[in-house]
């Protein structure tokens, strides 16, 4: 990533056309270039720290679109993350965010919290879950926690089916492990059907990017060290992620934190070089899968998470994957690459902004007539599915779940 200084911002305004938040609010102080000017003034000590400044810097999806658009090569993403860290140190954060960071910082806390949430949800009346919301999403529209985390239901090494073609390391992250175990099981079945031995390192934990987004670099450091130790053992095997945010952390953010966290730069660089998203990996090996004949075609559309758009091939990867999958009638939505407004905790912290964004996505997806909406970001999946009408028959799933479904069709 470029470390171009803030002074290089020419205020050209190209970032305004890319910023999802600015498109909704149409206010200069919500634009990426305004945030850069505020950060520059703060660094130059002409602007004091304040809760207002913290709010302006935090009202950002951290999608990376402004940095990708910037002709001056400014790393908006890194500048915003650094500023959030300073604002959190000066003013603290909301109790909900502090609680989330506390849980993510240790795997055993995540496991305990998931268990409590699963039991607690079972005790809540259905009427209460329908009326109560987190952000814009009714509780009854949130995914249910599985009985056990994914990694507790699978061995650390799963042999391939048929002829062995190689070994891959599967980084499940925290969302697949604790919330979307269906994605994990589908991914393992697809990879082993392709002839790959799947290793799931036992010591892995949250990728730490959600903590970094909220300025919790100290807490994130422990998770980063833990993942480096878990992933560094197999020096040659590809590391596959099913979440683009996890991929961005391992491939891009960890190398930038070597000096700050005193990491072994050679080990971190080796890990980063081995990281791939599972979707393009499967696309590259589609000829190794044996799909049964399908009499009918599933109507499928897709949504591109921001981190995949800017790091793992964007919509084209999923479009090509779906077009090559037997029994799939791919129906692209015109705004497939537009942000859905999920953004980690953004949908909870700024529900009014998020709602305007996701409603457009939902309306556009419906025009395709699709039965299934695929996306490979856990938060996008929560946000999209949670904002579908309760009577909608459309399902939101991971692309690998769709591939697994088609492999298993009779």
Q: Count CA atoms closer than 13 A to 167's CA, side-chain side.
A: 12
At 158, give phi and psi (nearest 5°): -115, 125
Is the Cβ–Cβ distance between 239 and 169 less than 8 Å?
A: yes
pLDDT, one tens digit per residue, over 117-171 is: 999 988 999 999 989 999 999 999 999 999 999 999 999 999 999 899 999 999 9
Average pLDDT value for residue range 334-361: 94
Confidence label for 315 from pLDDT (cuts 50, 70 and 90) = low
Q: Is 197 within the bounds of a domain?
A: no
Per the document, the length of the chain is 410
CA 318, CA 135: separation in Å to the nearest integer? 29
Nearest to 312 by CA among 277, 338, 278, 275: 277
Q: Is 115 within the bounds of a domain?
A: no
- Domain total in the chain: 2
Residue recorded with tokens 């999802």: 20
Range of the domain at 61: 6-91
At which of 91, 118, 138 does a domain end?
91
At which of 91, 113, 145 does a domain end?
91
Is the Cβ–Cβ distance between 277 and 240 less than 8 Å?
A: yes
Query: CATH no. for residue 50?
Result: 1.10.1060.10
What is the pLDDT at residue 71? 87
Provide the β-strand partners of residue 360.
none
Query: CATH no. for residue 319?
Result: 3.40.50
pLDDT, one tens digit per residue, over 367-389 is: 999 999 999 999 999 999 999 97
Q: Is 255 within the bounds of a domain?
A: no
The SS3 of residue 134 is strand
Radius of gyration of the chain (CA): 21
Residue 343 predicted with pLDDT over 60: yes
Q: Is 117 within the bounds of a domain?
A: no
Is the Cβ–Cβ distance between 5 and 72 less than 8 Å?
A: no
Q: Is 213 within the bounds of a domain?
A: no
Q: Mutual orientation of helices 32-43 and 76-91 as an angle, nearest 10°?
A: 60
pLDDT, one tens digit per residue, over 190-241 is: 999 999 999 999 899 999 999 998 888 888 999 999 999 999 866 789 999 9
Question: What pTM did the predictor assign?
Answer: 0.92
Q: Is 263 within the bounds of a domain?
A: no
CA 88, CA 80: separation in Å to the nearest integer? 12
CA 374, CA 398: separation in Å to the nearest integer? 5
Q: Is 147 within the bounds of a domain?
A: no
How would DSSP label each residue in 350-393? -HHHHHHHHHHHHHHHHHTT-SEEE-S-HHHHHHHHHTS-TT--
CA 157, CA 273: separation in Å to the nearest integer? 22
At which of 41, 73, 91 does a domain end?
91
Average pLDDT value for residue range 14-39: 92
Q: Is 51 within the bounds of a domain?
A: yes
How is residue 361 written in tokens? 């996505």
Residues 6+ apart with CB under 8 A from 116: none
């Amino acid at each position: 990533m470029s470390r171009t200084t803030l002074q290089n911002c020419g205020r050209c305004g190209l970032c305004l056309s890319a910023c999802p938040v600015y498109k909704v609010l149409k206010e200069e102080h919500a634009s990426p270039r305004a945030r850069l000017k505020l950060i520059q003034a703060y660094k130059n000590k002409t602007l004091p720290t304040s809760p207002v400044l913290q709010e302006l810097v935090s009202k950002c999806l951290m999608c990376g679109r402004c940095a990708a658009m910037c002709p001056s090569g400014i790393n908006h993403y890194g500048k915003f993350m650094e500023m959030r860290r300073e604002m959190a140190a000066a003013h603290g954060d909301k109790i909900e965010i502090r609680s989330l960071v506390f849980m993510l910082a240790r795997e055993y806390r995540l496991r305990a919290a998931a268990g409590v949430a699963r039991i607690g949800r079972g005790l809540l009346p259905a009427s209460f879950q329908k009326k109560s919301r987190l952000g814009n999403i009714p509780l009854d529209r949130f995914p249910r926690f599985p009985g056990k985390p994914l990694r507790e239901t699978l061995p650390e090494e799963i042999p391939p089916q048929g002829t062995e073609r190689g070994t891959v390391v599967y980084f499940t992250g925290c969302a697949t492990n604790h919330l979307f175990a269906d994605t994990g099981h589908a991914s393992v079945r697809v990879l082993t059907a392709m002839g790959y031995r799947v290793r799931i390192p036992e010591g892995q934990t949250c990728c730490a990017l959600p903590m970094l987004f909220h300025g919790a670099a100290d807490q994130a450091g422990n998770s980063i060290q833990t993942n480096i130790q878990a992933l560094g053992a197999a020096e040659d095997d590809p590391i596959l992620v099913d979440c683009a945010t996890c991929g961005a952390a391992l491939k891009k953010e960890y190398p930038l934190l070597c000096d700050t966290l005193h990491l072994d730069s050679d080990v971190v660089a080796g890990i980063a070089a081995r990281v791939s998203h599972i979707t393009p990996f499967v696309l590259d090996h589609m000829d190794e899968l044996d799909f049964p004949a399908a009499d009918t075609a599933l109507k499928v559309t897709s949504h591109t998470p921001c981190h995949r758009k800017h790091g793992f091939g964007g919509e084209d990867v999923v479009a090509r994957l779906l077009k090559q999958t037997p029994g799939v009638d791919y129906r692209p939505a015109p705004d497939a690459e537009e942000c859905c407004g999920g953004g980690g905790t953004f949908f909870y912290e700024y529900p009014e902004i998020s709602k305007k964004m996701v409603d457009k996505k939902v309306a556009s997806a419906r025009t395709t007539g699709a039965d299934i909406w695929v996306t490979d970001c856990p938060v996008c999946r929560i946000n999209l599915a949670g904002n579908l009408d309760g009577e909608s028959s459309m399902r939101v799933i991971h692309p690998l779940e769709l591939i697994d479904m088609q492999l298993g069709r009779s």
